[in-house]
């Protein structure tokens, strides 16, 4: 018995489209789908990987909240977003965290072609009210200044591969004012050892989302000697290419994968605890803020600090300088 299916139409899988010359042409559906997927991928690449992870986590939290209450998360009503923010604030979420959740909800809606409910006055007023009630001052982590770094290094074993790695990571992270994501992204190919010290190529950073690249210099030093520590680690580990800071198994076996950004924070906290400090007051950012604080205390200009930290805003750096100089030439020094 003959098949009842209609004969295949070679034109059925084609979609009419306009060429660059303005002519009408037929393009396979698969091509349109592939190009659409590529467009979505490029749109996602608009944000840094860490930002995308944070947005994904934030929106999943919002979606779960909406599902539990039987309301839509995409597209969402402004009153739904406002209620979500109030609920999060009541459970202890900080204003900075809520602002990121709002950004995640806005991003998800725009990416999906919906008008963002976050620009509605109901949402904005709720967020302003939370800020007014809860306050907006962020919890500052303690800077790991030069003195603190010296204390941490006293706790680092020099007879193990892990110890050599941790020593080099602490010193390089501090001396280059690295963000933790930048530190773990470094490869041997990014390093150039020169007579005066080290030149480091930072391929991508928070302030360089388009990957134009930035370069900083790290001197040999006379006290902490970061370049020497880095050479010692690379030689001991036999690393001549690929990631600089790698995972090491519990048995002491060196892996090929780079450490995660979270691992930097754990290393800083671990040695802070061994040094008798409060580990919860330190984080991966303590290395970066520690260099800037130490530089400001030593009298380095804001512009020299910017050469290392790669800040685009002077206002952020002025904060470090101001804190470092709070007790210098104090107005009450002569009579208090």
230, 317: one domain? yes
- Give the structural domain span for 227: 146-324
Catalytic pick among 109, 167, 285, 310: 285
For the question of residue 330 being annotated catalytic, the response is no
For the question of residue 320 being annotated catalytic, the response is yes
pLDDT in tens, 242-290: 999 999 998 889 999 999 999 999 999 999 999 999 999 999 999 999 9
Catalytic pick among 165, 179, 180, 269: 179
For the question of residue 285 being annotated catalytic, the response is yes
pLDDT confidence tier of residue 301, bands split at 50, 70 and 90: confident
83, 180: one domain? no
194, 317: one domain? yes
Q: What is the pLDDT of residue 296?
A: 87
Catalytic pick among 165, 180, 288, 310: 288
Sort residue 172 into left (φ over 0), alpha (ψ -120 to 50) or beta.
Answer: alpha
| pLDDT, average across residues 170-190 | 95
> What is the pTM (predicted TM-score) of this model?
0.66
| Dist. CA 188–CA 245, nearest whole Å | 10
> How many structural domains comprise the chain?
2
User: Does 136 have pLDDT greater than 80?
Assistant: no
Structure tokens of 2? 């003959």
Query: Is residue 282 included in any domain, yes or no?
Result: yes
Catalytic pick among 100, 203, 220, 311: 311
CA–centroid distance for 145 within its chain: 21
| pLDDT, average across residues 298-320 | 83
* Largest distance between two CA atoms of the chain: 109
pLDDT in tens, 21-79: 555 556 566 765 665 566 555 555 556 677 788 889 999 999 999 999 999 999 999 99
For the question of residue 134 being annotated catalytic, the response is no
Using CA atoms, how far residue 14 sits from 26, 29, 35, 36, 154, in Å, is 6, 6, 14, 15, 69
If you average pLDDT over every residue of the chain, what do you get?
A: 85
β strands within 132-242, DSSP E: 191-194, 197-202, 214-219
| Dist. CA 308–CA 305, nearest whole Å | 6
Residue 197 β-bridge partners: 194, 219
For the question of residue 206 being annotated catalytic, the response is yes
Structure tokens of 198? 């080290």
Catalytic pick among 206, 312, 318, 322: 206
| Ranges 35-49, 126-140, 191-205: which has the least confidence | 35-49
| Residue where a domain stops, chosen among 105, 134, 163 | 134
Query: Is residue 278 included in any domain, yes or no?
Result: yes
Q: Which CATH number do you get for residue 247?
A: 1.10.443.10
For the question of residue 109 being annotated catalytic, the response is no
189, 312: one domain? yes
Query: Is residue 140 included in any domain, yes or no?
Result: no
| Dist. CA 283–CA 268, nearest whole Å | 6
């Amino acid at each position: 018995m003959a098949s009842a299916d209609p004969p295949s139409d070679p034109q059925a899988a084609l979609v009419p489209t306009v060429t660059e010359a303005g002519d009408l042409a037929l393009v396979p559906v698969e091509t349109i789908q592939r190009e659409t997927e590529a467009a979505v991928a490029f749109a996602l690449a608009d944000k840094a990987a860490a930002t995308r992870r944070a947005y994904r986590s934030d929106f999943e939290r919002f979606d779960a909240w909406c599902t539990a209450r039987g309301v839509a998360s995409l597209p969402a009503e402004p009153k739904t977003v406002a209620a979500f923010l109030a609920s999060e604030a009541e459970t202890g979420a900080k204003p900075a965290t809520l602002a990121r959740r709002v950004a995640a909800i806005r991003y998800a809606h725009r990416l999906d072609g919906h008008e963002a409910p976050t620009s509605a006055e109901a949402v904005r007023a709720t967020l302003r009210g939370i800020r007014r009630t809860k306050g907006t001052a962020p919890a500052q982590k303690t800077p790991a200044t030069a003195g603190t770094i010296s204390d941490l290094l006293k706790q680092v074993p020099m007879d193990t591969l892990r110890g050599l790695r941790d020593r080099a990571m602490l010193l390089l992270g501090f001396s280059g004012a690295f963000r933790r994501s930048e530190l773990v992204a470094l490869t041997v190919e990014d390093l150039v050892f020169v007579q005066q010290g080290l030149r480091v190529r930072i391929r991508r950073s928070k302030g360089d989302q388009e990957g134009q690249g930035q370069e900083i210099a790290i001197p040999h030093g006379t006290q902490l000697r970061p370049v020497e520590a880095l050479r010692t680690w690379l030689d001991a580990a036999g690393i001549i290419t690929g990631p600089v800071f790698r995972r090491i198994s519990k048995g002491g076996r060196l892996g090929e994968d780079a450490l995660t950004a979270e691992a930097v924070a754990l290393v800083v906290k671990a040695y802070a605890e061994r040094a008798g400090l409060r580990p919860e007051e330190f984080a991966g950012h303590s290395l970066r803020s520690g260099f800037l604080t130490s530089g400001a205390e030593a009298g380095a200009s804001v512009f020299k600090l910017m050469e290392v930290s790669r800040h685009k805003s002077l206002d952020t750096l002025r904060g470090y300088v101001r804190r470092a100089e709070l007790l210098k030439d104090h107005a009450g020094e002569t009579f208090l």
